[in-house]
Amino acid sequence: MHELRREQPVEPERVRIGYVGGGSRSWAATLMNDLAQCTDLAGEVVLYDVDHESARANAELGEWIQSHDDAVGDWSYEVVESLAAALSGADFVICSTQDPPAETMAKDLELPAEYGIHQTVGDTVGPGGTMRAMRAVPQYREIAATVREECPDAWVINYTNPMTVCTRTLYAEYPDINAVGLCHEVFKVQELFADLVEDHVKGAEDVSREEIDVTVKGVNHFTWVDEAHWRDRDLYGLLETWLDARKPVPRFDSGELSEASYFVNHRDVTQDLYRQFEILPAAGDRHLVEFVPWYLSVDEPEEVHRWGIRRTPSEYRVDHWGEGEHERRDYLEGDDPFEFTESGEEAVDWMRALRGLEPLKTHANYPNVGQCPDLAEGAVVETNVLVDGGGVTPQTAGSFPPELRTVLTTHVTNQETIVEAGMEGDVDRAYRAFLNDPLVTIDTADARELFSRLIEAEREYLDDWDLKASRILPEGPTPAVADD
């Protein structure tokens, strides 16, 4: 990340940011933290959210953050009541949206568990990922259509999961859109290599992840790295040193991590997948296990502890939603000042680069124009990109081992299928992607029943899908009425 604080601020370039999901309970504060420390961009952030009061609270939070002496950036915050008003004339559009977890994500986790399908996250693939995608496609079609009408040249920066489906939907609705999806998962593997450099390269001290160049390829939360360099030094060979120092996996007992953080990651799955495919996974273990059936095919949910991870339960998702509101209120009602941090997120870096202020080399989710030659053209893939005032230039990532390519292709096909189904409101086609997911290892009758129960439980969020025409759902299609 570039150095946000500058001793001699330049005259800032003014921009307008439309924030969709402006009532965000967590990520909004991160963006405000970063904007308040940026001196060469300035302007206004226009917040829109279906939860208008939450957006209003974030506007108050943003202005409060700006009131601090350490807030060297010049930003104002405004709340509007329509998506069109938020995006009108925007230079950038930020998306970070989520439906209420108690009504959606809790069901995504709890109902599959009744059928023995235990998900560690449930927001990208698996039954939970499918349902979240079905809810997201209509929303992101509306966002893309509004961009087309209100700010056709704006850059859309998406942070919402399922990252691939949301970003792909923006392009499906508005093919000329400028949009990317950003995720910080790969930063962790850069940190791993930075630690290896410090431990094994003589004279290397205080190596940051930004100094590590990796070749990233795959789809979001199932990314892989087959090259890593620090300066002119090839680091990939250090992985064998790292693995030799580790115990064989699995190395925990079932239930052993019951007191650990829900987000614990011992990289045991990473270790095992590297040994299986001879290429390094670049996402966290909790996400990786949802793309393959091997680690989550368990009789009891605590068995996943054997691989050094825990499931994030539905009650945490529900409680965390409220905790974000409490934290925001504590900021505004308390006496403690806001503590500015280096967040590690890159939204501000992207905006600066796209305005021609400072080029950026990073990774992003972007349509495949050949950077992943093994995967479908047009599908959203995650690879390295170069970003500057001319836009985004994807970097060629090369091929995958054939066995891994097969796994990836299944997920790309499912994601493309869900987007295409969403464009037509075709529930039965979305079901085929659901059934084809590697985590759905139950028989077809149970799979159909589970899918139908999920649809019924979240029906109010699926208005844009043609539920009456479905042959999969129990009620079946509505019979046609013959003309007299």
Question: So which residues are the catalytic ones?
Answer: 184
Angstrom distance (rounded) from CA 18 to CA 51 = 16
User: Comparing C-alpha atoms, which of 8, 9, 12 is closest to residue 351?
Assistant: 12
**Bridge partner residues of 179 (DSSP):** 156
Longest dimension (CA), the chain: 88
Cβ neighbours of residue 324 under 8 Å, at least 6 residues apart? Answer: 24, 25, 26
* Length of the chain (residues): 484
Residue with token string 């250090």: 238
Angstrom distance (rounded) from CA 21 to CA 302 = 34
Cβ neighbours of residue 304 under 8 Å, at least 6 residues apart? Answer: 118, 120, 289, 295, 296, 298, 310, 311
| Dihedral-angle region of residue 216 (phi above 0 means left; psi in -120 to 50 means alpha; beta otherwise) | beta
Cβ(16)–Cβ(51) below 8 Å: no
The tokens describing 455, both together, are 């649809």
The DSSP code sequence of 390-416 is TEEEE-------HHHHHHHHHHHHHHH
Which letter does DSSP use for residue 364 in this model? E
Phi first, then psi: give them for residue 375, nearest 5 degrees: -110, 165
Which residues of 82-162 form beta strands (DSSP E)?
92-95, 155-158
